[in-house]
Amino acid sequence: MINLCDLGQVYLVCGKTDLRKGIDRLACLIKEQFQLDPFQDQVFLFCGGRKDRFKALYWDGQGYWLLYKRFENGKMSWPQNQNEVQALSSEQVDWLMKGFAIKPKIKNTKARSFY
């Protein structure tokens, strides 16, 4: 498995992105909508509507890499805040690459009494 964190800070672009977009349109989206520099040591992740695949955009100093991952079983839990980018920790990136949610869903309940 590719370790995206080795490439730099990983950012998740929340909401639905049209995955038909190529390198130039995704880089433009990062620069214009989120005021981030797509020419830095950063990886940007984009998800479409199906939530079983995503694209990763990375600049290596000489050119762009566009990576595509599709899960054969299941779907990802992708944040829906359309106008937001989230910086991910290496742990969150690992969870995402394995198909898990980037934020654990822990339900708050009352503590059980042992008496």
This prediction's pTM: 0.84
Domain boundaries, the chain: 4-97
Q: Show the CA angle centred on residue 39, arms to residues 87 and 79, nearest 5°.
A: 25
Q: What is the pLDDT of residues 32-80, one digit of tens each?
A: 999 999 999 899 999 988 888 999 999 999 999 999 988 888 878 788 8
**Secondary element (H or E) of residue 24:** helix 23-34
Q: Do 55 and 68 touch, CB atoms closer than 8 A? A: yes
pLDDT at 63: 95
